[in-house]
Amino acid sequence: MRRDRILRTLRYLDNCRDVVSGIDLGHPRKRSTGVCFYSEDSDRYIVLTVSPVEALSLLLALRDRVKVVAIDAPLSLPRRGIERDLERYCRRLGLRLIPPLLGPMRRLTICGICIKDVLEKLDMKVIETHPSSCLKISKIGREEILKILEGRILSVEALDRHGVDALICCLVALAYLKRMQVELKVGEDSLILFDNRFIEWLRRERR
C-alpha cells in the first residue's frame, strides 16, 4: 500500500475511539479486498480497496482502537467434507453461503482464519458475516444502504463492489457493538448479521 493512503486513512481516525471495521476478503495476492472503518467520534465510514496483507497492516496500526472486526469469509473449517453444519443450517433459512472448502473458497477461508488468529491475539473481537445474507433478511439493497449513509462515506478511491460489501460488514460490526446483531449459531460456529431493527436505527440516526 502506498504510504500516502496509509496516512490518509489513519488521519481520518486520529483521536477516534471504539473503532469498528469490516473486511470483504478478496484474492490473497490481489488488491481486491474491501476494508471499512467507522467510529462515532468521526461519524464517517472510511472505505478503501487493498490486499489482505494491507488490510491487516491497517488494523495492526489501529490495534488500540479497533473493538470489533467483521469479516466476509468463513472463519473456521468443516469437521468433515467441504461445508460446515452452519452452511447447511443457513441454506434451510434461504441463505446461500458458499462452502469453505469449495474450489477457490479454500484459499479465502485459510486467509480469513489467519487474519482472525492475529487479531484475536490483540484482543479484537472478530466475527464472521455475510453481506448478501444481511441484505436478504433486512429486505434492503446495496443502493438503499448507500442512500441511508449518504454524506457519511469517505472512499479513498472509487467505491466498487468490494468496498460496498466491506461497508456492510462494518455495519455488522457496529450492530454487534450496539448489541443489535442477529446471531445464527450451530455448535461452535456462528454467523453475525443485522436485520430491520438495525436498519431502522440507522435511519433514525440519519435524521
**CATH code at position 105:** 3.30.420.140
pLDDT at 111 (0 to 100): 93
**Distance of alpha carbon 43 from alpha carbon 4, whole angstroms:** 22
Which pLDDT tens digit goes with each residue over 44-82?
999 988 888 889 999 998 989 999 999 999 999 999 999
pLDDT at 108 (0 to 100): 93
Query: Cα dist. 87→83, 96, 97, 114, 171 in Å?
Result: 6, 8, 6, 20, 22
In terms of residue numbers, what domain contains 202? 3-206
What's the length of the chain? 207
pLDDT at 82 (0 to 100): 96
The structural domain count of the chain equals 1
Whether pLDDT at 19 is above 80 = yes
More confident position, 29 or 149: 149
What are residue 46's DSSP bridge partners?
37, 154
Q: Which of 6, 110, 108, 128 is nearest to 59 (CA)?
A: 6
pLDDT at 26 (0 to 100): 83
Please provide residue 185's backbone torsions phi and psi, each rounded to the nearest 5 degrees: -125, 130
Pairing mode of beta strands 125-128, 66-72: parallel
pTM: 0.93
Q: Spell out the alpha helix ranges (H) of 19-160.
A: 52-61, 85-92, 105-120, 131-138, 142-148
Across the chain, mean pLDDT equals 91
Q: pLDDT-based confidence at 197, cuts 50/70/90? A: very high
pLDDT at 1 (0 to 100): 47
3-state secondary structure of 46: strand
C-alpha cell at 5: 493512503
